[in-house]
Amino acid sequence: MVIEQGPIRPPSEAESLLLRFTRNCPWNKCEFCGTYNGENFSRRTVEEIKKDIDTVSNILGLIRERSLRMGFGGEIKRDVLADIYRDGNHFLIHVASWAFRGGKTVFIQDANSLVMKTDELVEALRYLKEKLPTVERITSYARSTTLSRKSREELEEIGRAGLNRIHVGMESGSDAVLKFMKKGVTARDHIEAGRRVVEAGISLSEYVILGLGGRLWPEEHPLETARVLNEINPHYIRLRTLTVPREVPLYRKLISGEFTELTEDEIVAGERLMIEKLEGINSQVVSDHMLNLLEEVEGKLPEQKEYMISVIDRYLSMPKNDRVNFRMGKRSGQYRYLDHMSDPQRYQRVEALVRRLESQGKLEGTLSSMMAGMI
């Protein structure tokens, strides 16, 4: 009762069943990413994928049998789930938790499963829908270069087979930034691929890394990113914040001085510039990662654009000591949103921590370590 799974998924797929169609990343050269360090890309066969889908179906059957024995008529109730958790079997728990929440969503792993031949991907998707009939949404990561090689007709066929949403790591709309970060894609590639996905009727999420331009391109990065997003008009714009842990290639450029990170305040200012320049689109801006300093900066465009800018302006207009307090509160888990600073007890606890670390000369180092731990 084992199914093969990869290391990551988008935060929005937290309740999804994870099924691995390909292994690792076929590009695996991005300077800011260390997810697949030392790993080689490989394709799974359709037969291997179908076997895992069959295993999930068999696990569901065992869970329903347990439910019957427990007197719940085959339904996956909370007591059934709790009983399964006591077994300690990861795969049984994963499938049971997914089914308990309705069994409606599946995330296809790993980093670029659209690289599969279209007929093979369609066959696997149709089999998945046949064997797991409760599934309503299937999503996957994909690279823009891969999507550019799929015709609109191919993408439409993939959509009809069941793939509802594609997550693309756009990261930046600046060709200079994309080249420096060895993304292996151009702004034009992003635009062509994104438009093709949207035209094929598949929901599109474009990921943007705030601060990715560093001090080399502090304004070009947000401005060009906004330009590219305006040309794509994706369904979702998902925000991430750059962090450079030791295991990523970019860390070497950071140490050598070839790349310099922006401060968090500068990153937030760049975020404001990008959002300000988003025009003529109706995307949903989503800040669904704890690395983002201002998680409340999200909303529907164009209706909530001014609201998002107002949140950023509220933060940037605070006195420096309050901005530092919020950063520490957010990174230490005391705060999530700006309004949490209004709690006097929480504020004083955070302030005491800030003063202690400042006196030891460890404030910024501690904040950086906290962020690295959130990846």
Closest CA to 297 of 267, 324, 331, 329: 267
Instruction: Provide CB contacts within 8 A for 69, sequence distance 6+.
Output: none
Q: What are phi and psi of 327, to 5 degrees?
A: -55, -45
Fold of 143-317: TIM Barrel (3.20.20)
Question: Does residue 220 surpass a pLDDT of 90?
Answer: yes
What's the confidence (pLDDT) of residue 301?
Answer: 98
Measured in residues, the chain has a length of 375
The dihedral region occupied by 206, where left means phi > 0, alpha psi between -120 and 50, and beta the remainder, is beta
Chain segment 13-29, per-residue pLDDT in tens: 999 999 999 999 999 99
Across residues 181-205, what is the average pLDDT? 98
CB < 8 Å & 24+ apart, contacts of 252-258: 253/31
Q: What does the mean pLDDT of the chain come to? A: 96
pLDDT for the residue 283: 98
Helix, strand and coil content of the chain, in percent to the nearest 5, comes to 50, 15, 40
Give per-residue pLDDT as tens, 273-319.
Answer: 999 999 999 999 999 999 999 999 999 999 999 999 999 999 999 99
C-alpha span between 340 and 344 (Å, rounded): 9
Crossing angle for the helix pair 363-372 and 344-359, to the nearest 10 degrees: 110
Q: Strands (DSSP E) along 26-160, which ranges?
A: 42-43, 105-109, 137-142
- pLDDT given at position 365: 92
**Tokens of residue 281, six digits:** 């689109």
User: CA 97 to CA 273: how far, in whole Å?
Assistant: 41
Q: Are 15 and 101 in contact (CB under 8 A)?
A: yes
Domain ranges for the chain, please list them: 143-317, 319-375
User: Which candidate, 232, 238, 60, 229, places its Cα nearest to that of 141?
Assistant: 238
Q: What's the pLDDT tens digit per position in 98-145?
A: 999 999 999 999 999 999 999 999 999 999 999 999 999 999 999 999
pLDDT class of 375 with cuts at 50, 70, 90: confident
* pLDDT score, position 335: 96
Residues with Cβ within 8 Å of residue 153, at least 6 apart in sequence: none
Computed on alpha carbons and rounded to an integer, the radius of gyration of the chain in Å comes to 22
Percent of the chain with pLDDT over 90: 95
Give the pLDDT confidence score for residue 372 in this predicted structure: 83
Amino acid at 184: G
Please count the CA atoms within 13 angstroms of the CA of 163 that sit on its side-chain side: 28
Question: Which of 374, 267, 252, 372 is closest to 323 using CA atoms?
Answer: 267
Predicted pLDDT of residue 1: 76
Q: With bands split at pLDDT 50, 70 and 90, how would you rate the model's confidence at 5?
A: very high
Among 110, 128, 105, smallest CA distance to 51 is for: 128
Q: Where are the beta strands (DSSP E) in the chain?
A: 17-20, 22-23, 42-43, 105-109, 137-142, 163-171, 203-210, 236-241, 284-286, 299-300
Average pLDDT over residues 58-81: 95
